[in-house]
Amino acid sequence: GIFQSKMFMGFGALFITCFCTLVLPLLLIVAAMKLWEMYVVSGRDPTCQSPLPPGTMGLPFLGETVHLFYTIYFQRRTFLKMKRQKYGYIYKTHLFGSPTVRIMGSEHVKQILMSEHKLVAAQWPASVRLILGSHALSNAHGALHKRKKKAIIKAFSREAMEQYIPVIREEVRCSVDNWLQSDSCVLMYPEMKRLMFRIAMRILLGFEPEQSKTDELELVEVFEEMIKNLFSLPIDVPFSGLYRGLRARNIIHSKIEQNIKKKLSNIDNNNNYKDALQLLIEDGERKEQREIKESATELLFGGHETTASTATSLVMFLGLHANVVRKMRHELQEKVGCLCLRIWGCTWWLKYTGCVIKETLRINPPVPGGFRVVLKTFELNGYQIPRGWKIIYSICDTHDVLDTLINKEEFQPERFMDKSPDDSSRFGYIPFGGGARTCVGKEFAKVLLKVFLVEVVTRCDWTLLNGPPTMKTGPTVYPVDNLQHMGDRMLDPQDQWGEGWHGTSWEADA
């Protein structure tokens, strides 16, 4: 009897130990999850009878932020496809410390983009607002947004872009020459970032050519650090993502400040060419240097990060589709000697080349989506979107679910030749966003990418070393392997164009 009693006590102690170490923590986690769900759901508007969208809110406080970063970093398209198959085109989640509704599909996105300042307002995550600054165009609202946008748009006028083309071509040719002279494989994504960074520094911020080359070495890595930590948890403690992003931002501001002082000393000089930074300075912001620095940093980010992403995707798709390269070269050959080329440098009159860019932006939009905050509760497709919640409208998902296209998985620039996807659904193709906050530099991006393509396809042949790469997002879209390619060679004019190609057309029209 004593033995049985001791054995029973031993089993009892073992049970209590297992319960306390395994079962109890599990129960506490489940209870915390249930309380978290109840807390978040309690944020629904009781005056609206419609239910919240389906979805999950993830872990307490962290939500699905960590899961989102991990899966999109490694399995971007797969993760997003799984989510929409499970929950549909509207679903709830919890990201960056806020309850969030993710939205896709042309009709749903249209309602969001056309309701600016009525139902929603632009509001990026706290980390983005802190790093870019409250006076950046993306974070400005009302009269301030209109004033800044009006000033910046002047830098992207037709007259301004005519002056940009020689600068763009000069920088692109210099990079292409370096690639052709390389004895090893070229990592295209880092090369694109450096190229587009130099172009943005010269055209948007007015850096001198030699100054841009010198400062590039110092600023590219710092800028990369800022961008890498742009989307992070809003916790400003040493070694956190936000802390590193702010530190990098301050270094960039100090460098831009030097250029601002130089421009302020020459502000009254009569100069027909005015970059975006100078136009901002002249727009009554002389005493607000912080505003100017924040706007300049945002211009540098928007002016090079997205174009570097798209240019890399262009090289990737062309490396995978030799027939598209042949069609582009045929179009360029047909345009030789056209008066339009001498005026616009082969940009506005290359229809098929433009379609290649459009198709690239359809499949790989550099920016996956945009952020909004709900100003007042409203209904969307039978679901309530509560006041104070955040909204992410998804560009990449909206392109993926556009039902007016056939063979959506295939790279087919021809689909844009006769009829664009947005002919039947204006908000089904939105690589530059839409509504009041459409990207102000979209025409600049198109011209830059066309000039880039003309130089590359008329001078180079290349092969992708690793085949089709896996794409990541952070924060723009880019290839896992940095897009390694080799086999660059200068094309023989006799092979592709016939005698005299390089002596006429593009070079002669400069």
Residue 249: pLDDT above 70? yes
Domain count, the chain: 1
Domain of residue 458: give its range: 127-508
In terms of pLDDT, which residue wins out, 73 or 457? Answer: 457
Q: Annotated binding site: which residue ranges?
A: 439
Is 190 inside a domain boundary?
yes
Is 355 inside a domain boundary?
yes
**Global pTM value:** 0.83
Is 24 inside a domain boundary?
no
Is 400 inside a domain boundary?
yes
Is 37 inside a domain boundary?
no
For residues 172-177, average pLDDT: 92
Which range is most confident: 152-166, 255-269, 298-312, 486-500? 298-312
Amino acid at site 280: L
Q: Which of 347, 326, 311 is nearest to 509 (CA)?
A: 347
Q: Annotated binding site for heme: which residue ranges?
A: 439
Spatial CB neighbours of 141, under 8 Å, sequence gap ≥ 6: 117, 121, 122
pLDDT, tens digit, 9 for 90 and up, residues 334-345: 775 453 444 444
Is 112 inside a domain boundary?
no
Is 433 inside a domain boundary?
yes
Instruction: Provide the H-helix boundaries in 154-187.
Output: 158-181
**Per-residue model confidence (pLDDT) at position 340:** 45
**CA atoms within 13 Å, Cβ hemisphere of 276:** 33
pLDDT, tens digit, 9 for 90 and up, residues 349-391: 788 999 999 999 999 999 989 999 999 999 999 999 999 999 9
In terms of pLDDT, which residue wins out, 197 or 182? Answer: 197
Cβ distance 387 to 45 under 8 Å? yes
Tell me, what CATH number does 235's domain have?
1.10.630.10
**Per-residue model confidence (pLDDT) at position 243:** 92
Is 331 inside a domain boundary?
yes
